[in-house]
A and B are shown apart, each in its own frame.
Chain A
Amino acid sequence: QKEVEQDPGPLSVPEGAIVSLNCTYSNSAFQYFMWYRQYSRKGPELLMYTYSSGNKEDGRFTAQVDKSSKYISLFIRDSQPSDSATYLCAMTGWGNKLVFGAGTILRVKS
């Protein structure tokens, strides 16, 4: 069983939709949670970073962490075609080794 599970998609939504991306994890040592966006043939771009249970909002993006359920989510409001990319969740404990989910491919149709 993988430490981090993420639905690979692809997820296809119309422009303007609310997108929900999710990851579950099994390692209780994970304390810091990140979401990255990766466009084709590019490196991952950090979108959100959080370390406490609850919600963190940044523009159209909201990261949600539920440590009791070992579940994290990223919500994208008013999705745009430019949001089409692969979204990766990542997490770490006390060290600096990031453990990534497999990534969810998102397509926003105009």
Chain B
Amino acid sequence: KAGVTQTPRYLIKTRGQQVTLSCSPISGHRSVSWYQQTPGQGLQFLFEYFSETQRNKGNFPGRFSGRQFSNSRSEMNVSTLELGDSALYLCASAPEGFRDEQYFGPGTRLTVT
């Protein structure tokens, strides 16, 4: 079974721009979560989608948003990029979500200049 895939793998953007990242979960998985990983803050939860609805949300500003499609694929959008948004963005999928094991993709490394 194929794992979680994320595109693109690397991205360079300029401050003020916006970016969209994509995640395809493991086949059959309906829950998709997004995390931000930085050297200073570690791994932090952004939000979780299940059946096209946001089910949980972390403590990030409204510039960070996401959505999930009917095939469970998910996208994450960051508007008005700031230098501090430079990070590895990780997507994780789980069968149903609650108390399930989460499997991570390889991540998208975003650099904001």
* B-binding residues in A (CB < 8 A): 31-32, 34, 36, 41-46, 49, 51, 88, 90, 92, 94-103
Contacts and interface: CB of A to CB of B under 8 A. Distances in A.
B102 A46 contact: yes
A43 B102 contact: no
A51 B56 CA distance: 21
Interface in B31-46: 31, 33, 35, 42-45
Interface residues of B, number: 28
A43 B90 contact: yes
Contacts of A34: 101-102
B98 A95 contact: yes
Contacts of B107: 42-43
Contact of A96 (B42, B100, B103, B105): B100
18 contacts: A34-B102, A42-B106, A43-B4, A43-B104, A43-B105, A49-B101, A51-B99, A94-B99, A95-B98, A96-B31, A96-B33, A96-B55, A96-B97, A96-B100, A98-B92, A99-B45, A100-B43, A100-B44
A97 B50 CA distance: 13
